[in-house]
Amino acid sequence: MSAAEGPLVVGVDTSTQSTKALVVDAATGQVVASGQAPHTVSSGAGRESDPRQWWDALREALHQCGDAAREAAAVSVGGQQHGLVTLDARGEPVRPALLWNDVRSAPQARRLIEELGGPKGWAERTGSVPSASFTVTKWAWLAEHEPEAVRAVKAVRLPHDYLTERLTGEGTTDRGDASGTGWWASGTEAYDEETLARVGLDPALLPRLVRPGEVAGTVRDGHDLPFSKGTLVAAGTGDNAAAALGLGLRPGVPVMSLGTSGTVYAVSRHRFADPTGTVAGFADARGDWLPLACTLNCTLAVDRVAALVGLDREAVEPGTGVTLLPYLDGERTPNLPRSSGLLHGLRHDTTAGQLLQAAYDGAVHSLLGALDLVLDADADPSAPLLLIGGGARGKAWQQTVRRLSGRPVQIPEARELVALGAAAQAAGLLTGEDAAAVARRWKTSAGPVLDAVERDEATLARISGVLSDAAPLMERGPGSD
């Protein structure tokens, strides 16, 4: 390990599948140590995880970082959004956390939209129309299906809040992650009393909102991590807001993230309120806004198709007639929570490679459908699309995004942008800088730019046509009468 030029900070990414920790030189952005440990997610009726394993994974990831983690002056946690963590009076989980991709609360989402002003009312109040991903719908589902669990709840947290609270002993959150709950009002930047009353959630159970740049607390005694007592702890934020920090994102620059979920977003100076529900009007971690569209099915869905046809994920072949909508876990964009995958146009001469390419096309089509809505009218339509996430380095993903977007595509060389964004947030506590400015100083978005190619309008139109015809049937769900 080379000598650091400045103090060391730790950035954490607690995602759906694993927890990652980076030890970063606050002066240069050099990653001096890293670690990672996996999580398990239930594969039954819903998607759940025991929050205690996130702490265990953080401990293991930091252990892999060695002595560097012990020298850290500040730490921040970025985490998967929307998850519902319920704690008892001792701070222990009442039940496993309901994760963002658990869509059992789709009926509750529909009911809440109807009861609280319709889509327009929700968009104006909270910035978003809640889908089954949003935390408020999960709480409503829990209250309806597990009332005994609800009676035991003494604190409600998001995944990143849970780890931050175990570090500091204080219940805190930030505007970026809070904006994905459905009970945070974007107009007032406070918890919405009407929404909380409707779902029977006492605001006293919710964490304190920490302002951008404010210290959330310090590391307390009694933990089993390598941090010293008194180490500064930043507010942390949701994973997409953390990645925006990690890129040092300026307003109007489009981002597409290819991971377990797929997202498109951009920083905006303006508060968004999309009554169609396609774009969530999230806040960022700095004081601006992060309009975002999210799909549930991205890299894992495409990898599953590759496994089904017995191909490596890169073994795609061009095709002109087959369409595959890879909605294997239901879908959020388009809003079809009860849907399953759909294959259309299969013929004797269709190859396995063409089926795989169709899965890529279907996944990217969902994301591009929302991109124009995410961007402000004055955004540069020729600006490179920043491609990040686990899929960003896959050639098939890159070429599919280029062909269907018609934009130049830039691949930042920096990896683990959620953890880097958390590290930049921690560094900002030490230097007094804006976290995005810290990341720009670290040059995290630098990387090769792939030239634009002609947009494949025929494929886009074919997928849109199949989706339009099939959506009513898909919304009924498999096995419906």
Sort residue 248 into left (φ over 0), alpha (ψ -120 to 50) or beta: left
Taking the CA of residue 479 as centre, how many other CA atoms within 13 Å lie in the half-sphere pointing to its CB? 1
Residue 70 vs residues 22, 43, 66, 234, 322: alpha-carbon distances, Å: 12, 36, 8, 17, 54
Report the C-alpha gap between 151 and 153 in whole angstroms.
6
Q: What angle do CA 361, 367, 372 make, to 5 degrees?
A: 125
Residue 251 vs residues 189, 254, 316, 375, 388: alpha-carbon distances, Å: 20, 9, 35, 9, 17
Q: Beta strands 215-218 and 232-234: pairing type?
A: antiparallel
Report the C-alpha gap between 414 and 314 in whole angstroms.
22
In the residue annotation, 239 being an active-site residue is answered as: yes
Of 50, 60, 106, 87, give the one whose Cα is nearest residue 330: 106
CB 237 within 8 A of CB 160: yes
Residue 167 phi/psi, 5-degree rounding, is -75, -45
CB 149 within 8 A of CB 142: yes
CB 70 within 8 A of CB 23: no
| 294 strand-pairing partners | 263
Enter the DSSP assignment of 287.
S
Look at the block and give the residue holding tokens 């009076």.
89
Six token digits for residue 346: 């299969």
Report the C-alpha gap between 445 and 436 in whole angstroms.
11
**Angle between helix 417-431 and 435-442 (nearest 10):** 110
Six token digits for residue 273: 């309120």
Report the C-alpha gap between 206 and 156 in whole angstroms.
5
Residue 291 vs residues 66, 284, 374, 444: alpha-carbon distances, Å: 38, 9, 6, 21
CB 254 within 8 A of CB 379: yes
Considering 161, 177, 239, 288, which one is annotated as catalytic? 239
Report the C-alpha gap between 107 and 226 in whole angstroms.
44
Where in the sequence numbering do the catalytic residues fall? 239
